[in-house]
């Protein structure tokens, strides 16, 4: 986890450099054989030395990261920093070797992940010293000119292997294969739904798994689970909710008493998942519903954005309680999730109006409260949520309306992020092309292959804490700056 | 103890000892309830205590302080490890814990005074609102330390509690000026900082205080003057109002009556008026100041930023 930002910065810098190269040389680049690219890559590095120096000069803070890159092309003069970088590289390589080794022992060789690692030539020490995500973004940035410069580090390689559904995956349970497809096809949407789906898939895995003789159940299970989750991660990056749920499960897996029989262990693990779902999700939702209910008064006009399962539940509960309020649903392209929300609320009988985010400043005047869902709450109090949420919060702040973010504590993350670029997810840019207008001559579609046109579809954004009045969690209504305090409590509980 | 007895006991403490804050008086009443109770189980005792708290809430006094203080008291004496030993032993443990709690309450003000008097410098001009015991003590202390400063006090109608504060300060020899409530904007540019007390400190880090505090805070923010709040930690309460309207009605009514009770002259005339008044058309005698207007809170737990209040509350309650 701690490595992530570092490598991100690395990737960013690399992307900048290579992006410029591409423009200078105007050379068509080949994705499939990385080996062929290898010598070219070093020459690129030499060519850009000047640029590198410049960057170094400008970004003194990033100096260290940069030098690990510079180091790879040649051993010239060994400065202090370079020595340091070298040491770090060695350590990293050792670690890599270790993990590779363990993988080889634990897993069947035909695994797709392993084969992908094998694809990378071992004579490239530069590439080998870094983690997989960097490799991906690195490769991707060199190949696709249709990517937006600023967020190049976020692109992932479309993995053709995984997208064809016929392929038989050894070591990956069919439930996970299906789940991966559902994630990537956006059949399962929303961080709560995704976390629930993951947990239920793990449950199936627990039931189905057969430990080979002479293997300890938990260890074997851990290995299998790792390969499954790696596959899922390839389909779509984990949501924070999923990461947290998985971490809690793994913690339990590690701390299980080895003297139990396999079936007992199974029972314990299943029980753990049940309680996790019950306590951290279902009960949390009920508690949040109650807390928000107290804040909804008769005559309120509540503005919501997108389609959050939790918000829907809250509104339906409040309506059941006999509160008289109306709802403004603000929606945005391309997913238009708000329509589903509108349908469900209208079916329940709640008075709704529907607006597109463009008209936000007009409808905000009528609202009395803003309710927002969240993807994750970060340690600095920022709220990570569906793209557009920050805009809604900003406009609400401008109109002095209270903004309530509803978020279960299992979505709290110890990450810190101040902008939406460091970590984000990129959706399918083609979604923007499909506007259902009456005329077929859609300018975006006709210009689709234009090299000058880069479409960016980011999925999340980060709302700074000063735009949020309060966060409603199952523990209490809190200011969003007290995320660290809650995380401390949760960490304390887990350690017991 | 019956409800009426509780109220009477509570009332006499407040009448006889004017320097005692309502919170302390409430705790002393609860201690008396424990002492006199003839219950046989802890459960019963706790229910009795809760009943007593309810009756005190209806005693026409600042509800914010009483509620937060009693809640903390209940947690402090009952919730941790009472098992083992007979009921009488448990009662003893509770009483000794209660005494400790009271002791802490008494010390709280002294700690705040120690922290905050350092912030008053030679030649500074302080603006304060209404009457607050802890602000008064702080100003005394700073004066005793030989600092020369000037105080501006709002009259703070309708009970004119600012006048009482003014008298107290002038008898002590501190130079001070009484200003109109509507003159806050006029004096704001010449003062150095603002010090106010609080009825209650809420989860958000905001405060509930005598009406006019919010006006003062907004004005101070605009003129970029630091806004300090002096409040003991027993005033912390787990409420999160989103705006003025969202403040619980009992806070508003209770304090409305309470302030009027202080100026006994208009007591009868006002209470009858309140019973009839719909709060929507009138305004209560307290307002809520959101955390973004507060620079620092001086408490017996230390000098806190508004966001740290919630952390402390989480520590206390969860």
Q: How much is the pLDDT for A172?
A: 81
Q: Least CA distance to B239: which residue of chain A?
A: A477
3-state secondary structure of A329: strand
β partners of residue B304: B297
| Strand pairing report for B302-304 and B296-299 | antiparallel
- For residues A49 and A116, membership in a common domain is answered with yes
State how many domains chain A has: 3
Residue A355 touches chain B, beta carbons under 8 Å: no
Instruction: Answer whether B318 touches A (CB < 8 Å).
Output: yes
Interface test with A, best of B202, B313, B314 (most A CBs within 10 A): B314
> Are A120 and A264 within one domain?
no
For residues A424 and A390, the answer to whether their CB atoms sit within 8 Å is no
Domain boundary among B52, B80, B108: B108
Same domain, B154 and B81: no
Dist. CA A295–CA A370, nearest whole Å: 11
CA dist A395 → A308, A345, A360, A383 (Å): 20, 24, 8, 16
Enter the ipTM. 0.82
Q: Are residues A78 and A207 in the same domain?
A: no
Q: Are residues B206 and B293 in the same domain?
A: yes
What are the tens digits of pLDDT across the range B146-171?
999 999 999 988 788 899 999 999 99
- Domain total in chain B: 2
Do residues B150 and B271 both lie within one domain? yes
Percent residues over pLDDT 90 in chain B: 42
Residues B193, A303: Cα–Cα separation, whole Å = 38
- In this complex, do B240 and A466 lie within 8 Å of one another by their Cβ atoms? no
Q: Decide which of A56 and B184 is more confident.
A: B184
Cβ B30 vs Cβ B40: under 8 Å:
no
Q: Domain ends where: A255, A282, A309?
A: A282
Taking the CA of residue B42 and the nearest CA in chain A, the distance in Å comes to 27
One domain for residues A232 and A110: no
Set of chain B residues whose Cβ sits within 8 Å of the Cβ of A404: 242
- B227 and B221 in contact (C-beta within 8 Å)? yes
Judge if B159 and B206 occupy the same domain: yes
Is the minimum CB–CB distance between A470 and chain B shorter than 8 Å? yes
Taking the CA of residue B295 and the nearest CA in chain A, the distance in Å comes to 15
Taken in order A303, A305, A306, A312, the sign of the CA dihedral is: negative
All residues at 6 or more sequence positions from A297 whose CB lies less than 8 Å from its CB, including other chains: A323, A325, B245, B246
| A154 within some domain | no
> Which residues numbered 396-425 in A keep a CB inside 8 Å of some CB on B?
402, 404
Same domain, B141 and B11: no
> What residues 223-252 of chain A have any CB closer than 8 A to a CB of chain B?
none
Q: What span, in angstroms and rounded, lies between the C-alpha atoms of A383 and A417?
A: 9
Contact B273/A at CB under 8 A? no
Domain containing B89 — which CATH number?
1.20.120.420
* Dist. CA A325–CA A323, nearest whole Å: 6
How far is Cα B318 from Cα B316, in angstroms, rounded to an integer?
6
B51–A contact, CB cutoff 8 A: no
- We report the CATH number of the domain holding residue B186 as 3.40.50.10470
In a domain, A405, yes or no: yes
Whole-angstrom distance, CA of residue A245 vs CA of residue A224: 17
Residues 116-145 of B with CB under 8 A from A: none
β-strands A300-305, A369-373 pairing = parallel
> Which residue from B minimizes the CA distance to A466?
B292
User: Helices marked H in A281-385 — which ranges?
Assistant: 284-295, 309-320, 338-348, 360-363
* Cβ contacts of B240 on chain A, cutoff 8 Å: 470, 476-478
Q: Is A241 a member of any domain? A: yes
* Sign of torsion over alpha carbons B146, B150, B154, B155: positive
Co-location of B130 and B265 in the same domain: yes
- Report the range of poorest mean pLDDT among A2-6, A490-494, B227-231, B279-283: A2-6
Contact between B310 and A404 using a beta-carbon 8 Å cutoff: no
Instruction: Answer whether residue B268 shows pLDDT above 70.
Output: no
B68-104: pLDDT as tens digits: 888 888 887 766 666 666 777 878 888 888 888 888 8
> pLDDT (tens digit, 9 = 90+) per residue, B17-62?
777 777 888 888 888 888 888 877 778 888 888 888 888 877 666 6
Residue B257 confidence (pLDDT) above 70: no
**Range(s) of the domain holding residue A29:** 3-144
pLDDT band at residue B292, thresholds of 50, 70 and 90? very high
Q: How far is B311 from chain A (nearest CA, A)?
A: 6
Q: Could you give the C-alpha distances from A485 to A379, A413, B315, in angstroms and in order? A: 9, 12, 8
- Do both A413 and A328 map to the same domain? yes
B126 with B103, same domain? no
Is-contact A55 A24, C-beta < 8 A? no
The token pair at B274 is: 């309140």
Distance from CA of A476 to the nearest CA of B (A): 8
Considering the domain architecture, whether residues A225 and A355 belong to the same structural domain is answered as: no
Contact, A349 vs A454, CB < 8 A?
A: no
Task: Please report the pLDDT score of residue A25 as a whole number.
Answer: 42
Q: Indicate the residue of B203, B205, B307 with minimum beta-carbon distance to A477.
A: B203
Domain extent, residue B16, equals: 3-108
- Are B48 and B179 found together in one domain? no
Neighbours of B2 (CB within 10 A): 10
Whether A327 and chain B come into contact, CB under 8 Å, resolves to: no
- Rg of chain A in Å (alpha carbons): 25
Q: Does residue A378 share a domain with residue A405?
A: yes
What pLDDT is attached to residue B170?
95
Cα B196 from Cα B134, distance rounded (Å): 9
Q: Are residues A126 and A274 in the same domain?
A: no
Query: Which of B85, B108, B131 is the endpoint of a domain?
Result: B108
* CA dist., res. A421 & res. A233, Å (int): 19
The band of B183, judged by pLDDT with boundaries at 50, 70 and 90, is very high
- Distance CA(A87)–CA(A85), nearest Å, equals 5
Contact yes or no for A206/A270 (Cβ under 8 A): yes
Contact indicator for A337, A331 with CB cutoff of 8 Å: yes
Nearest CA in chain B to A489: B318
Query: Does residue B279 sit at the A interface (CB-CB below 8 Å)?
Result: no
Return the CA Rg of chain B: 20
Is the minimum CB–CB distance between B203 and chain A shorter than 8 Å? yes
User: A264 and A406: one domain?
Assistant: no
Note whether A295 and A369 are within 8 A (CB). yes
- Examine the domain organization and report whether B116 and B239 are in the same domain: yes
Question: pLDDT tens digits, chain A, 496 residues: what are they?
Answer: 444 444 444 444 444 444 444 444 444 444 444 444 444 444 444 555 656 666 666 665 555 554 545 444 444 445 566 666 667 777 776 666 655 555 444 444 343 443 343 343 443 333 333 334 444 444 444 556 677 777 778 777 655 555 554 455 667 888 888 898 888 888 888 889 999 999 999 999 988 888 888 888 888 888 888 888 888 888 888 999 999 999 999 988 888 887 888 888 889 999 999 999 999 899 999 999 999 999 999 999 999 998 889 999 999 999 999 999 999 999 998 888 899 999 999 999 999 999 999 999 999 999 999 999 999 999 999 999 999 999 999 999 999 999 999 999 999 998 898 888 888 888 887 777 766 655 566 667 777 777 788 888 888 999 999 999 999 999 889 998 899 888 888 877 765 4
**How high is the pLDDT of residue A231?**
86
- Domain end position, chosen among B74, B108, B142: B108
Nearest CB among B246, B307, B317 relative to A479 is that of: B307
Query: Which pLDDT belongs to residue A167?
Result: 54
- Whether B260 and B280 map to the same domain: the answer is yes
Instruction: For residue A495, say if its preceding peptide bond is cis, omega within 30 degrees of 0.
Output: no
Structure tokens at A109: 């060789």
User: What's residue B64's pLDDT?
Assistant: 77
Reading the block at residue A470, the tokens are 């309060």
Q: Are residues A267 and A306 in the same domain?
A: no
Regarding whether A50 and A199 lie in a shared domain, the answer is no
Instruction: Please check whether residue A301 touches B, CB under 8 A.
Output: no
Reported as a single tens digit per residue, the pLDDT across B51-77 is 888 888 776 666 778 888 888 888 877
Calpha distance A467→A377 (Å, rounded): 14
Instruction: Give the three-class secondary structure for A408.
Output: coil
**Residue A362, in any domain of the structure:** yes
CB atoms within 10 A of CB B141: 17
- CA–CA min distance A314, chain B (Å): 17
């Amino acid at each position: 986890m701690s490595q992530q930002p570092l490598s991100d910065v690395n990737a960013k810098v690399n992307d900048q450099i290579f992006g410029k190269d591409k423009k200078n040389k105007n050379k068509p680049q080949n994705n499939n054989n990385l080996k062929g690219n290898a010598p070219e890559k070093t020459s690129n590095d030499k060519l850009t030395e000047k640029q590198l120096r410049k960057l170094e000069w400008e970004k003194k803070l990033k100096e260290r990261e940069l030098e690990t890159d510079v180091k790879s092309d040649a051993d010239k003069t060994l400065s202090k920093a370079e020595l340091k970088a070298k040491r770090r590289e060695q350590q990293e390589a050792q670690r890599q070797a270790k993990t590779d080794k363990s993988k080889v022992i634990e897993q069947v060789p035909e695994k797709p992940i392993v084969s992908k690692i094998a694809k990378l030539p071992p004579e490239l020490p530069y590439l080998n010293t870094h983690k997989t995500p960097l490799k991906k973004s690195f490769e991707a940035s060199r190949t696709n000119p249709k990517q937006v410069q600023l967020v190049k580090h976020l692109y992932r390689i479309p993995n053709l292997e995984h997208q064809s559904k016929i392929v038989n995956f050894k070591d990956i349970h069919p439930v996970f294969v299906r789940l991966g497809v559902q994630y990537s096809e956006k059949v399962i949407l929303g961080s709560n739904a995704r976390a629930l789906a993951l947990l239920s898939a793990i449950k199936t895995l627990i039931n189905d798994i057969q430990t080979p003789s002479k293997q300890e159940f938990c260890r074997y299970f851990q290995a299998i689970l790792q390969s499954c989750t790696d596959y899922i991660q390839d389909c779509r990056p984990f949501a924070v909710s999923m990461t947290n749920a998985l971490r809690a499960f793994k913690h339990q897996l590690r701390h299980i008493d080895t003297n139990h029989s396999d079936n007992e262990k199974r029972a314990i693990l299943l029980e753990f998942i049940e309680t996790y779902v019950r306590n951290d999700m279902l009960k949390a939702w009920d508690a949040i519903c109650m807390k928000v209910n107290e804040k909804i008064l008769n005559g309120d006009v509540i503005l919501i954005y997108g389609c959050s399962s939790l918000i829907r539940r809250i509104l339906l509960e409040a309506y059941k309680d006999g509160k008289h309020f109306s709802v403004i649903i603000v929606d945005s392209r391309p997913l238009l999730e708000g329509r589903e929300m509108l349908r469900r609320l209208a079916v329940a009988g709640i008075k709704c109006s529907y607006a597109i985010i463009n008209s936000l400043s007009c409808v905000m005047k009528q609202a009395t409260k803003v309710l927002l869902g969240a993807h994750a709450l970060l340690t600095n109090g920022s709220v990570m949520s569906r793209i557009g949420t920050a805009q809604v919060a900003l406009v609400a702040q401008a109109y002095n309306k209270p903004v309530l973010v509803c978020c279960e504590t299992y979505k709290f993350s110890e990450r810190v992020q101040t902008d939406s670029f460091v970590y984000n997810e990129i959706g399918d840019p083609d979604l923007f092309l499909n506007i259902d207008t009456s005329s077929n001559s859609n300018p975006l579609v006709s210009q689709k292959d234009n090299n000058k046109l880069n479409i960016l579809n980011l999925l999340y954004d980060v709302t700074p804490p000063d735009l949020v009045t309060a966060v409603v969690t199952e523990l209490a209504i809190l200011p969003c700056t007290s995320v660290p305090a809650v995380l401390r409590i949760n960490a304390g509980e887990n350690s017991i | 103890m019956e409800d009426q007895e509780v109220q009477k006991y509570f009332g006499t403490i407040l009448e006889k000892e004017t320097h005692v804050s309502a919170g302390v008086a409430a705790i002393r009443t609860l201690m008396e309830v424990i002492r006199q109770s003839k219950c046989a189980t802890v459960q019963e005792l706790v229910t009795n205590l809760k009943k007593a708290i309810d009756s005190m809430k209806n005693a026409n006094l600042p509800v914010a302080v009483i509620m937060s203080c009693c809640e903390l008291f209940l947690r402090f004496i009952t919730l941790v490890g009472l098992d083992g030993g007979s009921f009488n032993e448990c009662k003893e443990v509770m009483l000794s814990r209660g005494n400790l709690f009271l002791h802490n309450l008494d010390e709280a003000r002294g700690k705040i005074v120690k922290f905050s008097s350092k912030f008053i410098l030679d030649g500074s001009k302080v603006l304060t609102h209404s009457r607050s015991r802890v602000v008064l003590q702080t100003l005394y202390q700073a004066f005793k330390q030989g600092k020369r400063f000037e105080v501006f006090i709002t009259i703070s109608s309708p009970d004119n509690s600012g006048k009482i504060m003014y008298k107290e300060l002038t008898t002590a020899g501190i130079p001070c000026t009484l200003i109109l409530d509507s003159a806050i904007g006029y004096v704001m540019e010449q003062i150095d900082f603002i010090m106010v007390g609080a009825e209650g400190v809420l989860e958000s880090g905001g405060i509930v205080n005598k009406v006019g505090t919010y006006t003062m805070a907004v004005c101070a923010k605009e003129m970029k003057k630091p806004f300090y709040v002096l409040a003991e930690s027993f005033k912390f309460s787990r409420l999160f109002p989103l705006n003025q309207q969202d403040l619980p009605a009992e806070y508003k009514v209770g304090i409305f009556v309470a302030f009027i009770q202080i100026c006994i002259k208009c007591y009868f005339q006002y209470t009858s008026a309140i019973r009839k008044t719909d709060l929507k058309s009138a305004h209560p005698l307290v307002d809520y100041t959101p955390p973004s207007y507060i620079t620092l809170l001086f408490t017996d737990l230390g000098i806190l930023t508004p966001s740290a209040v919630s952390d402390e509350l989480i520590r206390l309650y969860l």
